[in-house]
Amino acid sequence: MGKNKLKKFADMASYDHVFEADFEQLSQGEFAQRGRWSEWFGNDNPIVVELGCGRGEYTVGLARRNPDKNYIGVDIKGARMHAGATEAANEGLKNVAFLRTRIEFIERFFASGEVSEIWVTFPDPQMRKPRKRLVGTLMLSRYRNFLRPDGPVHLKTDSPFLFEYSQHMMAANAITAQALNADLYAQGVPDPALGIRTYYEQKWIDAGMTIKYVRFLIPQDVDLVEPDVEIERDNYHNVGRNVVIRSDK
């Protein structure tokens, strides 16, 4: 491991707004912060979670714009998360925290009704693995264990595959989209929160890709079903280390 990465992990370990628990720790007992996030933030403001936060740019951007809400960015890549965690610390943002864990464990970190909104920003579309899709029915079933019934899920993506999948998933489960936009920036952005652009999002826009947005509520007390459809896959490929480009072509 390089010295730079070691320094990042050392920094992360010293930040009081960064939390971490691996599978072994979770299996030995309940995560201590579960059900007590408001105590840590020191207020009863709504708690918003960003899943797959990467460098934390969106989490920090949302926190800057909405001081009346508390934001928690979740990702497994601590070295990436370091950027947002350090930025939040340097700016003295008190409504930001980060959680380093695998998203499949996410329901172990929050109590029922503790989270008011979920953001999923530019996730891997997982075209071959429906069970790993962050807006797939397996993950949605987990989210509703801690998301308020009136709490929306926001999906922002550049993937035509994932955008189409989300529409089939909603249709299969009688979900009505609260918002559905195939080209978010075509006619201006009505909500400033949607206009936050991460480094890689800007790269994708510059490459000519359209950004898509969906917002919906997860149905309660029903078994969610996967849509039985074939969806054309994206041209999804790596163009460099830690850089992914997807094409609408």
pLDDT value of position 236 = 55
pLDDT (0 to 100) of residue 240: 36
Angle at 100 between CA 4 and CA 61, to 5 degrees: 85
What is the pLDDT tens value at each position of the chain, 249 positions in all?
556 777 776 777 889 999 988 777 777 777 889 999 999 999 999 999 999 999 999 999 999 999 999 999 999 988 889 999 999 999 999 999 999 999 999 999 999 999 999 999 999 999 999 999 999 999 999 999 999 999 999 999 999 999 999 999 999 999 999 999 999 999 787 788 999 998 889 988 898 889 999 999 999 999 999 999 999 998 754 433 344 444 443
Q: What is the pLDDT of residue 19?
A: 94
Q: What is the pLDDT of residue 237?
A: 47
Provide the phi-psi class of 113: left if phi over 0, else alpha when psi is between -120 and 50, else beta: left
The answer to whether residue 228 is catalytic is no
Confidence (pLDDT) at 131: 94
Pick the closest to residue 161 from 237, 225, 232, 211 (CA basis). 232
Which one from 22, 124, 221, 223 is the annotated catalytic residue?
A: 124
Give the model's pLDDT for residue 79.
85
Long-range contacts formed by 82-87: CB under 8 A, 24+ apart: 82/8, 82/9, 82/11, 82/12, 83/55, 83/56, 83/57, 84/53, 84/55, 84/56, 84/57, 84/59, 84/60, 85/11, 85/12, 85/15, 85/17, 85/18, 85/56, 86/11, 86/15, 87/56, 87/60
- Strand pairing class (96-100; 117-121): unpaired
In the block, residue with structure tokens 């996730």: 123
- What is the rounded (10 degree) CA torsion for 56, 57, 61, 62? -40
